[in-house]
Structures are given as C-alpha cells and as structure tokens.
C-alpha cells in the first residue's frame, strides 16, 4: 500500500504512518476502501495544534480536461474534515450537510494542501470548514456539518 507501515503502537488500528518518502511522518487511515483507491491522502498535527492534510496529484486524480476531478476534491475534503474534527468527533460520524466552492483547477504533480477548523461543536453536531490550496493559489473551500455517531447498543 504505497509507502505505509503500521506504527508501533497506533492509537487506532487503522491509523498508519509513512516511514519514508515525501510524506514521511504523516498519517493516513486505511479503513475506507474508496479513499484507499483514490488516495493516498495524508494528515499531520502541526506545532500550533492545527491539522494539515495533503496529497500529490497523480494522473488518476484528473478529469477529461486534465484538471483534478471535482469529485476528488470533495472526497479529499471529506477526509480532511475527519482529520481536522477527529478530537471533537471522538469516534465516527456521518455527514449531514456539505457545501463547497470550486475556485481554481489543480494539476498533475501539484501538492494540494488543506487546512481548516471546527467552527462549532455542540451536543450531536459538529460544524467544520476548510480550504485547499496549491502553494498560494486557493483552489477549493468547503464547510460541513457532521452528526456524531450515537453509541451502539451493548457497546
């Protein structure tokens, strides 16, 4: 699976850390078959406590016009918002709303990075927002509401 190896003592069994290459030290989840197919997508905790996510655009991410497919941006945004909101979610969640703006195209070979924040975390809903850029070029902005997973009976 690309350059992934299992961490010595991961906080969750599906969390992996790259041990070499461009994303050495970055984390990714392998629990989602679709993300595994279109990724890899990566995230890391920054020194200021924020989360940064990234992926390198490959040919498989492009649409027929040679730009990053809008669905790829949306799938990456979904990955990013779970990474950004994972402490507030404290487990799994489901999307109840997603809004986005396509601002510019991404191209093969570019590094796409994403930052964001939890806008509000209430009892059962978490509101998040973020933006993707390639260097200084803003490509995509988004916001989302997620419902925290309800405890499973007999869990």
Phi-psi region of 70 (alpha: psi -120 to 50; beta: other; left: phi over 0): alpha
Backbone φ and ψ of 132, nearest 5°: -115, 145
Q: Give the bridge partners for 121, in sequence order.
A: 126
Helix (H, G, I), strand (E, B) or coil at 8: coil
The CA-based dihedral angle spanning residues 7, 128, 99, 91, taken in that order and rounded to the nearest 10 degrees: 50
Convert the pLDDT of each residue in 19-77 to its tens digit: 999 999 999 988 777 888 888 999 999 999 899 999 999 999 999 999 999 999 999 99
Q: How confident is the model at residue 151 (pLDDT cuts 50, 70, 90)?
A: low
Q: Report pLDDT for 116.
A: 94
Global pTM? 0.83
């Amino acid at each position: 699976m690309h350059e992934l190896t299992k961490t010595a003592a991961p906080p969750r069994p599906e969390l992996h850390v790259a041990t070499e290459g461009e994303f050495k030290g970055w984390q990714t989840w392998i629990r989602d078959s679709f993300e595994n197919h279109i990724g890899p997508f990566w995230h890391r905790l920054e020194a200021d406590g924020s989360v940064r996510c990234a992926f390198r655009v490959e040919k498989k991410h492009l649409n027929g016009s040679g730009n990053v497919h809008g669905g790829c941006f949306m799938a990456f945004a979904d990955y990013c918002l779970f990474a950004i909101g994972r402490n507030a979610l404290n487990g799994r969640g489901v999307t109840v709303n997603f809004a986005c703006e396509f601002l510019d195209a991404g191209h093969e070979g570019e590094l796409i990075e994403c930052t964001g924040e939890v806008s509000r975390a209430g009892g059962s809903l978490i509101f998040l927002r973020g933006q993707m850029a390639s260097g200084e070029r803003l490509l995509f902005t988004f916001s989302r509401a997620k419902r925290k997973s309800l405890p499973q009976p007999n869990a």
